[in-house]
């Protein structure tokens, strides 16, 4: 049997959004304290994992300004063979919503321009939606307005997309068994 090409997933977002932590979770890290030791990602990291018999090649694109510029100028290289793009917003970093949205819009524009007929799924993670997050009306309003802008941008494209609230600090989770 020939081995199929791994599915390529790009994780994109500003620095400190939580991308590397999410990738660690996906690759099986369970030790919660290890999320406190993560250093900012320099450049990009490619991680190969296997979930339910499917191989994934996960690209964790470091979000610091210098790297963001490079991705934007060479985006076609990163997009090559990409199956899924996941954009991560840190919902607790309200001061940088605008900057994150600007980056998001540029990435979406480039993805549209470079998709070359590929079927690319898009997910947006509204991340750091921790179970113990203290929400108030002001924060709620800001998150909803961020979500509206994300939807408005994506509705102007023909991408299939889904938006999720995510956190690496999920203490208890329940799923129905098959
Ligand atoms: N509160 C909270 N903090 C998180 C979560 N995920 C990651 N972090 C923290 O956010 C910071 C940046 O995470 P990192 O994965 O390095 O972000 P990256 O720069 O996007 O790769 C670290 O201090 C993480 O511990 C989360 O779900 N909730
Ligand atoms: Mg990182």
Closest residue CA from atom 11 of ligand 1: 16
What's the domain range around 146?
A: 7-166
Question: Which of 86, 69, 73, 81 lies closest to 115, judged by CA?
Answer: 81
CATH number of the domain that 141 lies in?
Answer: 3.40.50.300
Which residue, 33, 38, 48, 32, is CA-closest to 15?
38
For residue 14, the ligand closest to its alpha carbon is 1
Q: Is residue 133 lining ligand 1, measured as CB closer than 6 Å?
A: no
The pLDDT of residue 36: 67
Residue 65 lies in a domain: yes
Residue 60 located in a structural domain:
yes
The yes-or-no verdict on residue 171 having pLDDT over 70 is no
Terminal-residue alpha carbon distance, the chain: 29
Ligand number nearest CA of 133 is 1
CA of 111 to the centre of ligand 2 (A): 21
pLDDT at 162: 95
User: Structurally, how many domains does the chain consist of?
Assistant: 1
Within-domain flag for 18? yes
Residue 174 domain-assigned? no
Q: Is residue 173 part of a domain?
A: no
pLDDT digits (tens, 9 = 90+) for 17-73: 999 999 988 887 666 666 666 778 777 889 898 888 889 999 998 888 888 888 888
Asked whether residue 175 is domain-assigned, the answer is no
Of the pLDDT bands very low, low, confident and very high (cuts 50, 70, 90), residue 165 is: very high
List, in order, residues 6 or more apart from 172 with CB less than 8 Å away: 131
The structure's pTM equals 0.91
Give the model's pLDDT for residue 28.
Answer: 79
Summary mean pLDDT of the chain:
88
* Domain membership flag for residue 177: no
Ligand 1 center from residue 143 Cα (angstroms):
18
Residue 144: band (very low, low, confident or very high) from pLDDT cuts 50, 70, 90: very high
The finding on whether 109 has its CB within 6 A of some atom of ligand 1 is no
pLDDT of residue 133: 87
Residue 64's pLDDT is what?
Answer: 87
Which ligand has the nearest atom to the CA of 166? 1
Atom of ligand 1 nearest to the CA of 60: 21
Quick one: how many helices (H) and strands (E) in the chain?
5, 6
Residue 67 lies inside a defined structural domain of this protein: yes
């Amino acid at each position: 049997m020939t081995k199929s090409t791994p599915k390529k997933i790009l994780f994109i977002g500003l620095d400190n959004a939580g991308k590397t932590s999410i990738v660690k979770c996906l690759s099986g890290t369970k030790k919660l304290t290890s999320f406190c030791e993560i250093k900012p990602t320099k450049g990009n990291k490619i991680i190969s994992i296997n979930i339910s018999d499917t191989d994934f090649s996960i690209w964790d694109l470091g979000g610091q300004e210098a790297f963001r510029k490079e991705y934007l100028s060479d985006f076609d290289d990163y997009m090559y063979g990409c199956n899924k793009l996941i954009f991560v917003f840190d919902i607790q970093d309200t001061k940088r919503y605008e900057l994150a949205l600007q980056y998001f819009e540029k990435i979406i524009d480039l993805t549209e321009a470079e998709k070359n007929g590929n079927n690319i799924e898009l997910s947006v993670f509204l991340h750091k939606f921790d179970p113990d997050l203290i929400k108030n009306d002001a924060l709620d309003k800001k998150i909803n307005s961020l979500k509206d802008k994300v939807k408005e941008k994506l509705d102007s494209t023909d991408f299939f997309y889904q938006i999720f609230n995510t956190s690496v600090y999920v203490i208890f989770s329940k799923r129905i068994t098959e």
